[in-house]
């Protein structure tokens, strides 16, 4: 392996390890989205009634709306601590491409929010009486969709990191970009629950993820530079 590639790999590994370590030291930021997901899924049957057929009908939309909000909840603080302690400014001056650093932030966010939601989604779906046949499609849609949510959420977090109360602004920026993910992901689960082929929606989600991986880090990098210069 040539020296440049070894240097890049070492940078990516060290950056991802640091972000995961910071997340481990702030367990509340990791647990809150999961508790929020559990709380809302538990309360929905009380609000719309415990009938299994009715719950199963609404389950795809409920699960994905709550996953979207949980991802949004975790996105706001993605760059906050590094901005406050000056690490983010040093990162902008580092010789390594900011594109790569942006990917590690997003990957860490997905590993501590999107991946746990994906793994726990069958349990939450069972609580809402979603048919067992739809669970594999639910998990695959969560796997793809939450990764897109993390990438898009990172853009909003980068643009608002220098604002003391950027929660409302980040919602206004990225929620419209979340809507296509919500539509196709919930649609895939609904199709699977009704016995239809959900592969078109899943392929669209995979296409969104590919596009987000290619373009979002550039937008994140530009947002971070704008925020740090403005701060």
For residue range 113-167, list pLDDT tens digits in order: 899 999 999 998 998 889 999 999 999 999 999 999 999 999 988 888 877 766 6
Residue 94 confidence (pLDDT) above 80 = no
pLDDT digits (tens, 9 = 90+) for 22-38: 777 777 777 888 888 88
How confident is the model at residue 74, as a pLDDT?
81
C-alpha to C-alpha distance for 142 and 162, rounded to whole angstroms? 30
Residue 54 confidence (pLDDT) above 90 = no
Q: In the chain, which ranges are continuous DSSP H helix?
A: 3-25, 27-48, 52-75, 80-84, 87-93, 98-109, 115-127, 135-160, 167-193, 199-230
Between residues 199 and 18, which one has the greater pLDDT? 199
Between residues 150 and 76, which one has the greater pLDDT? 150
Evaluate whether 71 touches 113 at the Cβ level (below 8 Å): yes
Residue 56 confidence (pLDDT) above 60 = yes
What is the arithmetic mean of pLDDT over 210-230? Answer: 88
The CA-based angle 206-183-198, given to 5 degrees, is: 55
What is the arithmetic mean of pLDDT over 56-75? Answer: 88
Q: CB neighbours of 85 closer than 8 A, spacing ≥ 6?
A: none
Q: CB neighbours of 219 closer than 8 A, spacing ≥ 6?
A: 155, 158
Report how far apart, in Å, the C-alpha atoms of 218 and of each of 23, 103, 211 are: 24, 10, 12
C-alpha to C-alpha distance for 11 and 17, rounded to whole angstroms? 10
Residue 5 confidence (pLDDT) above 60 = no
Domain boundaries, the chain: 3-230
How confident is the model at residue 45, as a pLDDT?
80
Residue 3 confidence (pLDDT) above 70 = no
How confident is the model at residue 115, as a pLDDT?
92
Between residues 60 and 11, which one has the greater pLDDT? 60
Burial class of 90 by CB neighbour count within 10 A (0 to 12, 13 to 18, 19+): exposed
Question: Mean pLDDT score of the chain, rounded to an integer?
Answer: 85
C-alpha to C-alpha distance for 165 and 1, rounded to whole angstroms? 45
Q: What is the pTM of this model?
A: 0.89
What is the arithmetic mean of pLDDT over 46-73? Answer: 85
């Amino acid at each position: 392996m040539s020296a440049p590639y070894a240097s890049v790999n070492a940078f990516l590994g060290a950056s991802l390890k640091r972000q995961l370590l910071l997340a481990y030291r702030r367990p509340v930021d990791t647990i809150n989205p999961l508790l929020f997901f559990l709380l809302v899924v538990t309360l929905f049957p009380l609000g719309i009634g415990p009938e299994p057929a009715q719950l199963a009908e609404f389950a795809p939309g409920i699960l994905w709306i709550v996953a979207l909000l949980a991802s949004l909840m975790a996105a706001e603080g993605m760059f906050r601590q590094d901005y406050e302690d000056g690490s983010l400014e040093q990162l902008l001056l580092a010789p390594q491409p900011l594109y790569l650093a942006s990917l590690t932030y997003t990957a860490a966010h997905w590993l501590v929010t999107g991946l746990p939601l994906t793994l726990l989604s069958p349990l939450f779906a069972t609580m809402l009486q979603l048919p067992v046949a739809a669970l594999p499609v639910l998990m695959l849609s969560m796997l793809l969709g939450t990764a897109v949510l993390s990438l898009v959420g990172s853009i909003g977090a980068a643009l608002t990191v220098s604002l003391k109360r950027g929660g409302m602004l980040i919602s206004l920026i990225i929620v419209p970009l979340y809507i296509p993910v919500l539509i196709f992901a919930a649609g895939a689960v609904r199709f699977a629950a009704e016995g239809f082929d959900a592969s078109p929606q899943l392929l669209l989600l995979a296409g969104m993820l590919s596009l987000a991986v290619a373009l979002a880090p550039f937008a994140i990098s530009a947002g971070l530079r704008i925020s740090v210069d403005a701060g």
